[in-house]
Amino acid sequence: MPSKISYLFTVVAFALALPLSLSFAFDAHGQSAEQNFQQAKKFLDAKQYKEAVPLLRKAVEQGSADAQTELGVLYFHGNGVEQDTAKALKWYEQAADQGKAEAMHLIGGLYDIGCGVTYSATTADRWYRKASEKGYAKADTLLETYASLGSLGRQITGDAFKEVIVDGFEKQGKPNPC
């Protein structure tokens, strides 16, 4: 049976650690990661990217995988931040490490078209499978398409993805990151 001293030590240690652990759950204004992320989403939906970035950063500091994914998307497209595929990949990887299936799918996409990384169908498929295992329907569809079309289908699909990306960036007057 634990002594009163060890019990008291445990209670004091817990009391000292609790404020530290709560500091990650809420920002200086008492906002949770989810609250910061939801506020950021309102700005993202309104295409007010620069206003969304600080809120996403707060949510990222609080450990939000959703915010990490969205911040990666902003870096990939150069919306509200300077376009940077390496930073996009970094945020996708951090979200994927937390189990975010959408981020896993986006990493697969970068490898699938060789955007900011060396092209690797094997690595792309591995990321798509991880996303699929998490129940991400887009990854399921893509893997099924690749399985039914074979390597030629993958090349055609990859070329089509690149074309869509290039067209999208050209229409926005932005450089193609791929």
Q: Give the model's pLDDT for residue 45.
A: 95
| pLDDT tens-digit series, residues 36-67 | 999 999 999 999 999 999 999 999 999 999 99
d(CA 92, CA 71): 8
33 pLDDT band (50/70/90 cuts)?
A: confident
Specify the pLDDT at position 52: 96
Please state, in angstroms and rounded to a whole number, the distance separating the CA atoms of residues 129 and 139: 7
pLDDT in tens, 124-152: 999 999 999 999 999 998 888 888 877 66
Neighbouring CB atoms inside 10 A of 122's CB total: 7
CATH of span 65-171: 1.25.40.10
pTM: 0.76
| Contact (Cβ atoms closer than 8 angstroms) between residue 86 and residue 67 | no
Lookup: tokens for 94:
């951090």
The residue with greater pLDDT, 104 or 21, is 104
Question: How many helices (H) does the chain have, and how many strands (E)?
Answer: 8, 0
Confidence category of residue 165, pLDDT binned at 50, 70, 90: low
C-alpha pair distances (Å), 104 with each of 21, 110, 165: 28, 10, 19
Residue pair 89/116 in contact (Cβ under 8 Å)? The answer is: yes
- Quickly count: other Cβ atoms within 10 Å of residue 62's Cβ: 20
CB 88 within 8 A of CB 75: yes
